[in-house]
Amino acid sequence: MPDPIIRTERLTKRYGRARGVDDLDLEVRPGEVFGFLGPNGAGKTTTIRLLLDFIRPTSGRAVIFGLDSRRDSRAIRRRLGYLPGELTLYESLSGVELLTYFAHLRGLRSIETGRRVAERLDCDLTREIKALSHGNRQKVGLVQALMGDPELTIFDEPTLGLDPLVQAVFFELVDELRTAGRTLFVSSHNLPEIQRICDRVGIIREGRLLAVESVSDLKRRALRRLELRFAEPVTAERFARVPGVHDLVVDGPFLSCVVTGSVDPMLRAALELRVDDVISHEPSLEEIFLAFYGTGATGGPPPESAPTPGAPGGTPGTPSEEVPHAA
Amino acid sequence: MLRSVFAKVVHDQWRMVLGWAAFSAVWPAMYVGLYPSIGALGELEKMLDQFPPAIREFFASASLDLSSPEGFLNMELFTFVAPLLILAYTVVVGGGATAGEEEKGTMDLLLANPIPRWRIVVEKSAAFVIGTIVIGIGMWIGAAAGAAIADVDLDLVLVGQAIGSVVLLGLALGGFALALGAITGRRWLAAGTALMVVIAGFFLNGFGALVDWLEPWRPISPFYQYIANDPLSNGIDPGNALVLVGWAVVGTAIAIIAFERRDLAR
């Protein structure tokens, strides 16, 4: 296997009492789109800022392109694009001016690549940034991140504030970059987004890496909340033993449950009766954590018994790719 | 345009600097221009003569002699107004040099570019030195214009040296503010603290002239280095100038070291 593009070794950042990241062992392979999934405040941005040498690790280290993230930060940044999470641009510059400025700082000959990306995103580079809406600023942020055609691009919550149409274009861009062999690191708190664009995903919560999984595995174990309304009252027993069904609640003709994996058995069972309505929800991140990693919304680190190899408490150096199977 | 961090600062600040330079030119022009027409000057001098010498010394670290335009300028312009005009710029801009971008949140974006941190400090400092000099030049032009219009016999070389001394004072405390900003990442904390040092330095120099036990401490005050040797009469003293340059250089060096080592605020 080729050397990883990003490798962190027990990377740790502590902020007094506040949580940073803890013993993070992560590998991002060349040419993959790696998702970094976790709720807000989980340590995604802290990790990214460690990678970029904006902040320094309390212990552990990160290696990018085989270079040390602290000592060789400048050489790393030469080959890297970055979209910050809380994006702030220079208000008094226009998009073109911003790109020109950064092109000079990066030693790029022109901003042509940037202009092409901007065209794709329908991003007006002539207006002053202070006159732009949040979504349009985000576009400028994406354009500056991609304008150098970097080997690695780090996106911190890239689609925040983008309208669905622009999001779709962004997903297209990601697919093209993947085809071109670029490596992308995408942080997000949005599972469908990660599933849509990523190859593998690292799941982080409260500063700890819970698991690293391939997105296809994650999809195979897809989690759905289903709500059904039947023509007549039903009993819970009827559905209790349907494969993949959890958290079953029945109230007269109303049924709600969580289904892991295929919804086919549940729907077949339901269709033996008369169904008036079906609603399917994307699960929240917390529901996923609960179902897959046995760790709920408020608790500290997951209990020892949780099926989470390579997760907190796991021995350092444990490969985190092992897939924890849902109970 | 926008070829470097330095160019970016120039792009952002040239209007402000020129505006401030123009504003700063008004004061010397006014004082010099009004000098011949202040009929009551003799009266003013008589009044000042009746002040206790201590008070006179406090307000004019140099000799008080209103019979010459230099003496008048020392009293009116160089004791207070000129340092204030320069320091208002250097302390605010120095304090915000790196801390401003950190607080606004643009520093992450800037530093994602392959540019070393020390270079951001150095380029921003360079732009700020030039800004300070431009404001000083504005003052000199103001004084020269005032002298020409009102036909006052003023030694413009010495005026230039006195303004040069103000510029060095500004750079000294601007360097201090720069260091504080780089250490804390907070621009108004840096500028505010530097301003307090300005005020303390002003009074240390003033009272040091009056209070025996304070006298040996006066050289700590940048104001002492700035004006105690009366640059308007004697020209800049190289030793004093060196001390002020030292403040600025040490401030910048501390800023570089602190900014290189620190976790950036967000």
ipTM of model: 0.89
Indicate whether A131 pLDDT > 70.
Answer: yes
Instruction: Grade residue A318 by pLDDT with cuts at 50, 70 and 90.
Output: very low
The pLDDT of residue B40 is 60
- Say yes or no: A267 contacts chain B, CB-CB below 8 A: no
Instruction: Grade residue A324 by pLDDT with cuts at 50, 70 and 90.
Output: very low
d(CA A96, CA A140): 9
How many residue pairs bridge chain A and chain B with CB atoms within 8 Å of each other? 69
Length of chain A: 327
Quick one: which of A293, A318, A322, A303 has its CA closest to A223? A293
- Say yes or no: B266 contacts chain A, CB-CB below 8 A: yes
Tell the residue number behind the tokens 């140099």, with chain if given.
Answer: B62
3-class secondary structure, A234 = coil
Which DSSP string corresponds to A66-78?
Answer: TEETTTTHHHHHH
- Say yes or no: B260 contacts chain A, CB-CB below 8 A: no
Provide the edge-to-edge strand list for the sheet that holds A200-205. A80-83, A152-156, A183-188, A33-37, A200-205, A208-214
The pLDDT of residue B64 is 61
- CA B263 to chain A, closest CA, distance in angstroms equals 4
Residues forming beta bridges with residue A10, ordered by sequence position: none
Indicate whether A320 pLDDT > 60.
Answer: no
Residue B198: what residue type? V
Give contacts of A100 with chain B, Cβ < 8 Å: 1-2
- Say yes or no: A207 contacts chain B, CB-CB below 8 A: no
Q: Percent of chain B at pLDDT above 90?
A: 73
Instruction: Grade residue A44 by pLDDT with cuts at 50, 70 and 90.
Output: very high
d(CA A239, CA A233): 13
Identify the closest residue of chain A to B262 by CA–CA distance: A55
Burial of B90 (0-12, 13-18, 19+ CB in 10 A): buried
Q: Shortest CB distance from A84 goes to which of B3, B8, B109?
A: B109
Residues 6+ apart with CB under 8 A from A30: A2, A3, A4, A5, A181, A183
**Beta carbons of B154 and B70 less than 8 angstroms apart:** yes
Instruction: Grade residue A288 by pLDDT with cuts at 50, 70 and 90.
Output: confident
Query: Is this prediction's pTM over 0.90?
Result: no
Give contacts of B115 with chain A, Cβ < 8 Å: 74, 77, 105
Give the residues of chain B that fall short of pLDDT 70: 39-46, 48, 53-66
The pLDDT of residue A294 is 67
Residue A76: what residue type? I
**Beta carbons of A265 and A243 less than 8 angstroms apart:** yes
Give contacts of A92 with chain B, Cβ < 8 Å: 12
Instruction: Grade residue A66 by pLDDT with cuts at 50, 70 and 90.
Output: very high
Tell the residue number behind the tokens 């800023």, with chain if given.
Answer: B255
Give contacts of A142 with chain B, Cβ < 8 Å: none
The pLDDT of residue B79 is 87
Q: Shortest CB distance from B113 goes to which of A89, A100, A105?
A: A105
Instruction: Grade residue A309 by pLDDT with cuts at 50, 70 and 90.
Output: very low
Indicate whether A124 pLDDT > 80.
Answer: yes
Distance of CA B180 to the CA centre of its chain: 17
Average pLDDT score, chain A: 86
- CA A192 to chain B, closest CA, distance in angstroms equals 27
Element (H, E) at A113: helix A112-121
Contact A90 B106 (CB under 8 A): yes
Residues 6+ apart with CB under 8 A from A119: none
Give contacts of B266 with chain A, Cβ < 8 Å: 45, 49, 54, 86
Tell the residue number behind the tokens 């329908």, with chain if given.
Answer: A122
Which DSSP string corresponds to B62-115?
Answer: S---TTSHHHHHIIIIIIIIHHHHHHHHHHHHHHHTTHHHHHHT-HHHHHTSS-
Give one word for A122, left, alpha or beta, with left for phi > 0 and alpha for psi -120 to 50.
left
- Say yes or no: A195 contacts chain B, CB-CB below 8 A: no
Which B positions 108-147 lie with beta carbon below 8 A of chain A?
108-116
DSSP 8-class letter at A272: T
Contact A84 B112 (CB under 8 A): yes
Tokens representing A216 are 């296809």
- Say yes or no: A201 contacts chain B, CB-CB below 8 A: no
